[in-house]
Amino acid sequence: MKRSIYWLMAGAAGIVVANNYYNQPLLAEFALAFHTSERQAGTVSVAAQTGYALGLLLFVPLGDKLERRSMLRTLLCGASVALAAIALSPTLNWLVAASFLTGLASVAPQLLTPFAAQLAGRQQRGEAVGIVMFGLLCGILVSRSISGSIAQHFGWRSVYWLAAAAMLVLAAVLSRTLPRAQPTYKGTYGRLMGSLWTLFREEPLIRQTSAIAALQFAAFSAFWATLAFHLRAMDTHFGSEVAGLFGLVGVVGALASTKAGKLIDQRNPRLVVLASGVIFVIAFAILAATGHTVAGLVAGVIVLDLGLQSGHVANMARNMSIKSDAMSRINTLYMTIRFAGGALGSSLGIWAWSIWQWPGVCAVGLALGCMSLLMQARPRVTREPLRE
């Protein structure tokens, strides 16, 4: 398969996942537009993430049952309608509901990742997954800057009109470019969902990779949930705008996803996951020692993103080697557990900040990073050849 297909998928993943993050720099605009408090406006962001989590659980497993290209087209068209509804929102409640539906329909990136792995085959699987994950992370990091800039010059509604149009263009492009992928599961939807538990119970590798990813994403989320508080508490009293710019710094670390993918194809992905755990510990050691300076924070963010992305790509490549006919369901289990870890990490980080400030946050990150290493120190749970 031509590498350009993987980069097309990466671009699509980044553009679609951005739908869930455009709202974050616009919450103050929503509060002004609908004459409400910023706390109430914050429910827009919560609704988008909740919808995404539910879509992940309900729709992504269907990637094994339905033809993926057609399913992607349907989801993108649905996302376009939901984004247009946001642009037309007459009330905050309407905006919250439309944001929930947007998140629900914006799970295409989690279909594209196993799709790329399937097209790549065993020899290029790590590289393909790494390329798509690079595009996805860039979409998350850059979307905040894009929406803020467009909203400042043309108003927040224009952000969503443009996003709605982008979904339709993507639907057309992917329909004409991607090859057809025949479904691998023939049972009912009920049995499909029931098979999630069967896979989790019978495949110890899924349990291990999911636990490692949850711990690492928890450490990552603990940092990002408290960064704005830390910046404001520094002598320079930086605001949320500076906190957002640190996301762009993370693009440097995101480059690790493509490099890690190539390394995974050449060597044992377990070694890459192990290295990512060590990198996490180093990152929080840097943040603990030098996090009182901007330079120290920048260095810590780069190393932290390097650890997150390399471990994430390696774990996904390991998962994609388990059963080629269940890639979407395996991805559902992995991502759902990973996001649960992220929510827990955010809560732990905020709790630690409220008691011990920055040293407490770094201690939480170090503890979670060490726990991810301990998960890998357990006896090897399974062989990892592709069972096709």
pLDDT above 50 for 148: yes
pLDDT above 50 for 333: yes
Tokens of residue 47, six digits: 């609704």
pLDDT single digits (tens) 158-204:
999 999 999 999 999 999 998 887 777 888 889 888 988 999 998 88
Average pLDDT across the chain, whole number: 83
Mean pLDDT of 204-229: 86
pLDDT above 90 for 213: yes
Predicted model pTM: 0.73
Predicted pLDDT at 92: 93
Q: Which is nearest to 279 in space by CA: 167, 184, 209, 365?
A: 365
Model confidence at 267, pLDDT cuts 50, 70, 90, reads low
> How many residues are recorded in the chain?
388
pLDDT higher at 190 or 378: 190
pLDDT above 80 for 22: yes
Question: Which domains does the chain show, CATH number per domain?
Answer: 3-183 (1.20.1250.20), 198-377 (1.20.1250.20)
CB neighbour list of residue 306: distance below 8 Å, 6 or more residues apart: 253, 256, 279, 283
pLDDT higher at 351 or 88: 88
Burial of 251 (0-12, 13-18, 19+ CB in 10 A): middle
Percent with pLDDT over 70 in the chain:
85
Tell me the CA distances in angstroms from 290 to 14, 35, 241, 287, one per residue in order. Answer: 32, 41, 21, 5
Q: Which of 48-52, 224-228, 280-284 has the lowest mean pLDDT?
A: 224-228
387: phi then psi, degrees, rounded to nearest 5: -105, 90
Tokens of residue 75, six digits: 């989801």
pLDDT higher at 39 or 72: 72
Tokens of residue 182, six digits: 């025949």
pLDDT higher at 330 or 117: 330
Mean pLDDT of 266-289: 87
Mean pLDDT of 250-275: 69
pLDDT above 60 for 257: no
Predicted pLDDT at 145: 74
Percent with pLDDT over 90 in the chain:
28
35: phi > 0 → left, psi -120 to 50 → alpha, else beta; which? left
Mean pLDDT of 259-267: 62
Predicted pLDDT at 162: 96
Task: Assign 185 to helix, strand or coil.
Answer: coil
Predicted pLDDT at 20: 86
Model confidence at 96, pLDDT cuts 50, 70, 90, reads very high
Q: Give CA angle at 368 (366, 373), nearest 5°.
A: 95
Say how many CA atoms lie within 13 Å of 5 toward its Cβ: 18
pLDDT above 50 for 388: no
Predicted pLDDT at 387: 41
Say how far apart CA 255 and CA 329 lie, in whole Å. Answer: 27
Predicted pLDDT at 165: 97
Say how far apart CA 299 and CA 47 lie, in whole Å. Answer: 33
Predicted pLDDT at 386: 44
pLDDT above 80 for 383: no
Model confidence at 135, pLDDT cuts 50, 70, 90, reads confident
